[in-house]
A and B are shown apart, each in its own frame.
Chain A
Amino acid sequence: MKVLVVDDFSTMRRIVKNLLRDLGFTNISEADDGSTALPMLKEGSFDFVVTDWNMPGMQGIDLLKAIRADANLSHIPVLLITAEAKKEQIVMAAQAGVNGYIVKPFTAATLSAKLDKIFERLG
């Protein structure tokens, strides 16, 4: 399974990559914002996107909307891992078609649980 981790902070990308590797995901690529991520998604056959919300350039929520609007990408599950914690934003993400929402700071157990849930739903 090919995973794209999108976050503007390299340390957070590294944390997420380590946790994902522990959970058995070994094919992981990185991008530092939505506008870098989108062309990568269009070119490569990614199966899963983990993204931050608040990034310079293209925000995670806009990346999610762009993925859902693109017929070739719309099937890709997207997990938001973000410090953004306004209820209105969580509703916004749900309406945009997010598959999971993790609020920072988070734990390895939370990530594992959300991934299980996402892939269980997808079957």
Chain B
Amino acid sequence: MSVDTGVHVSLEEAKLLVEYLETGQQEKADELIAEIQNPINSELFAEIGKLTRQLHDSLNNFQLDSRLSDLATADIPDAKERLNYVITRTEEAANKTMDAVESIFPVVDTIQKQIKAVNPLWQKLMHNKLDLPEFKSLCIDIDILLKTTDKESVRMHDLMTDVLMAQDFQDLTGQVIRKVIDLVREVEDSLIGMLTAFGISPESSSEPSKPKFGENLVEGPIVNAAQRDDVVADQDDVDDLLSSLGF
């Protein structure tokens, strides 16, 4: 009975097997049989070895770059919190400022109203056309105006100090944003490092990449209008464009 198993036993191997069996080296004999049945392809073996080493090195490199995992798990969540802080502080400042300004508006309006009330009789006085009852009435109005202005100017001064103090966010948010910019720069460097490690050149893309637009091309405030020709620079540009459309 002949079955082609693809296994070829050489005479040397057969002799060696007999020798192992005769000298009672059962283990060696078994090994030899296994070897004869599954001859190791030395080339394949070498290739697997190379791949294993590469995998090992890559994994090691990733471990070395543990900064990357810190960035993802600690620094970036921290940056989100910082940016939220900027939103909160700037909103607070805007509201504090508007609180003060909205309190100043009616004060100014009141003073202006009283000045308007005084003005006709005052003009008469200046032109020497004022009679005595009018003079008395004028005196009362001026007295009210002086008292109001005195009291309200102190109040306006306080409110304007509030406006002044509401601007203290700029220093704090400026520091926070600067820190986030540093982080973004570090993440950028790490990502470029990773691309390079995988053999992708970050410079290889032929076109300079553009930031993504949202639905309806939304992009938010344009920070580099001077370098772009697809955006308007100011309201005059908008008006010119609209009138060129027959608006």
Consensus secondary structure, chain B interface = helix
Contact call B235/A86, Cβ cutoff below 8 A: no
A35: interface (CB < 8 Å)? no
Residues on B with beta carbons closer than 8 Å to the beta carbon of A69: none
A11-65 CB contacts (< 8 Å) to partner B: 11, 14-15, 18, 53-54, 59, 61-62
Bin the interface of chain A by size: 20 to 34
Contact call B220/A90, Cβ cutoff below 8 A: no
Chain A CB within 10 Å, residue with most, of B234, B235, B242? B235
Contact call B216/A90, Cβ cutoff below 8 A: no
- 1/0 per residue, CB under 8 A from B, across A67-101: the answer is 00000000000000001111111111010000001
Contact call B219/A94, Cβ cutoff below 8 A: no
B181-240 CB contacts (< 8 Å) to partner A: 214-222, 225, 230-232, 234-235, 238
A2: interface (CB < 8 Å)? no
Contact call A15/B98, Cβ cutoff below 8 A: yes
Smallest beta-carbon distance B195→chain A, Å: 30
A108: interface (CB < 8 Å)? no
Contact call B219/A86, Cβ cutoff below 8 A: yes
The total of interchain contacts (Cβ-Cβ below 8 angstroms) comes to 74
Chain B CB within 10 Å, residue with most, of A9, A84, A102, A106? A84
Question: CA–CA, A122 to B43, complex, Å?
Answer: 86
Question: CA–CA, A76 to B61, complex, Å?
Answer: 63
Contact call B98/A85, Cβ cutoff below 8 A: no
Contact call A103/B216, Cβ cutoff below 8 A: no
- 1/0 per residue, CB under 8 A from A, across B21-40: the answer is 00000000000000000000
Partner pick for A86 among B95, B98, B215, B217, CB 8 A cutoff: B217
B143: interface (CB < 8 Å)? no
A112: interface (CB < 8 Å)? no
Contact call A84/B217, Cβ cutoff below 8 A: yes
Beyond A11-B91, A90-B242, A94-B245, is A103–B235 a contact (Cβ under 8 Å)?
yes
Residues on B with beta carbons closer than 8 Å to the beta carbon of A92: 216-217
Which residues in B have some Cβ–Cβ distance to A below 8 Å?
91, 94-95, 98, 101-102, 105, 214-222, 225, 230-232, 234-235, 238, 241-242, 245, 247
Between-chain CB contacts (< 8 Å), 14 pairs: A9-B91, A18-B105, A53-B218, A59-B216, A84-B218, A84-B219, A85-B225, A86-B232, A87-B230, A87-B241, A91-B241, A94-B247, A101-B238, A103-B234
Which residues in A have some Cβ–Cβ distance to B below 8 Å?
9-11, 14-15, 18, 53-54, 59, 61-62, 83-92, 94, 101-104, 106, 110
Contacts A14-B95, A88-B217, A110-B235 supplied; 10 other A-B pairs, CB < 8 Å: A59-B216, A61-B216, A83-B220, A83-B222, A84-B218, A85-B221, A86-B219, A89-B216, A101-B238, A103-B234
